[in-house]
Chains A and B, each alone.
Chain A
Amino acid sequence: MTNNFPKMNFVGLDGILVQFSDEIRENANSAALAFRHEVEQKNQSSIIESANSLTSAYFRIDTKIEPLDSILNFLNEMLREKNWYTSKLPVDRKLFKIPCVFGTELAPQFEKVIKLAGISRSQAILEFTTTRTRVMTIGFSPGQPYAGLLSKKWDLPRLAEVSKSVPKSALVCAIRQLIIFSNSTPTGWHHIGQTAFECFNSNRQQPILLRPGDEITFVEISSGELSQINNNNADGLGGVEIMEIRN
Chain B
Amino acid sequence: MLEVISTSGFSSFQDMGRNGFRSQGISRSGAADYYALFEGAALLDQNPNSTALELIGNGGKFRVLQDCMVALTGAIMPASLDQKPLSWNSSHYLHGGSILELGAPQNGRYSYLHLRGGFKAPKIFNSSSAQPTAGIGKYTRPKDILEPLEKIPDALKCQTIEPVDRFEATSFRLVESFQTHLFTPKTIKKFVNTEFSIDNQANRGGMKLAHTGSGFSTSNQLKIISDMIIPGDIQMTGSGQPFVLLSDCQTIGGYPRIGCIIPPDLPAIAQLTTGRTVKFKFISRDEANRIASEDLKCLEIIKERCLEPIRDPQKMADLLNFNLIDGAVWAKN
Q: Which residues of A are at the interface with B, using a C-beta cutoff of 8 A?
A: 9-15, 17, 19, 22-24, 36, 48-56, 58, 60, 63-64, 137-144, 146, 155, 157-162, 175, 182-183, 188, 199-202, 208
Contacts and interface: CB of A to CB of B under 8 A. Distances in A.
Interface of B: 19-20, 22-27, 124, 133-136, 175-178, 222-223, 225-228, 230, 232-233, 237-239, 250-254, 260, 262-263, 285, 288-289, 292-293
Given A139-B226, A142-B24, A175-B225, A200 B260 contact: no
Contacts of B250: 139-141
B222 A11 contact: no
Contact of B230 (A12, A139, A146): A12
Nearest 10 interchain pairs by C-beta: A139-B252, A9-B178, A12-B260, A160-B238, A157-B222, A51-B23, A51-B22, A140-B250, A139-B251, A53-B227
Nearest to A21: B225
B26 A175 contact: no
Residue with the greatest number of chain A CB neighbours at <10 A, chosen from B19, B223, B227, B232: B227
B227 A17 contact: yes
Contacts of A140: 25, 226, 250-253
B25 A142 contact: yes
Residue with the greatest number of chain B CB neighbours at <10 A, chosen from A9, A14, A142: A142
A202 B135 contact: yes
A22 B220 CA distance: 12
A19 B178 contact: yes
A140 B255 CA distance: 12
A17 B238 contact: no
Contacts, number: 143
A139 B223 CA distance: 18
A82 B285 CA distance: 30
Given A53-B225, A137-B252, A188-B237, 9 more contacts: A11-B177, A13-B260, A13-B292, A15-B228, A64-B293, A141-B250, A158-B223, A161-B238, A175-B223
A13 B175 contact: yes
A10 B124 contact: no
A49 B133 contact: no
B254 A158 contact: yes
Given A188-B222, A200-B134, A51 B251 contact: yes
A78 to B, nearest CB: 18
B225 A139 contact: no
Contacts of A64: 293
17 contacts: A9-B177, A10-B176, A12-B175, A13-B175, A15-B230, A48-B19, A51-B228, A51-B251, A53-B227, A139-B25, A139-B252, A142-B134, A155-B223, A158-B238, A159-B238, A183-B134, A200-B25
A49 B21 CA distance: 8
Nearest to A188: B238
Contact of B134 (A138, A155, A160, A182): A182
Nearest to B135: A200
A141 B223 CA distance: 20
Contacts of A23: 225
Contacts of B285: 10, 13
Nearest to A52: B23
B225 A12 contact: no
Contacts of B136: 142, 202
Nearest to B227: A53
Contacts of A159: 222, 238
Contacts of B262: 13
A24 B26 contact: no
A72 to B, nearest CB: 12
Nearest to A200: B135
Contacts of A137: 226, 252
A56 B227 contact: yes
A64 B232 CA distance: 21
Given A17-B178, A139-B252, A183-B134, A24 B225 contact: yes
A208 B24 contact: yes
Contacts of A14: 263
A52 B285 CA distance: 24
A58 B22 contact: yes
Contacts of B24: 138, 142-143, 208
Given A54-B226, A160-B238, A142 B135 contact: yes
A40 to B, nearest CB: 9
Given A138-B25, A139-B252, A202-B135, A10 B227 contact: no
A34 to B, nearest CB: 14
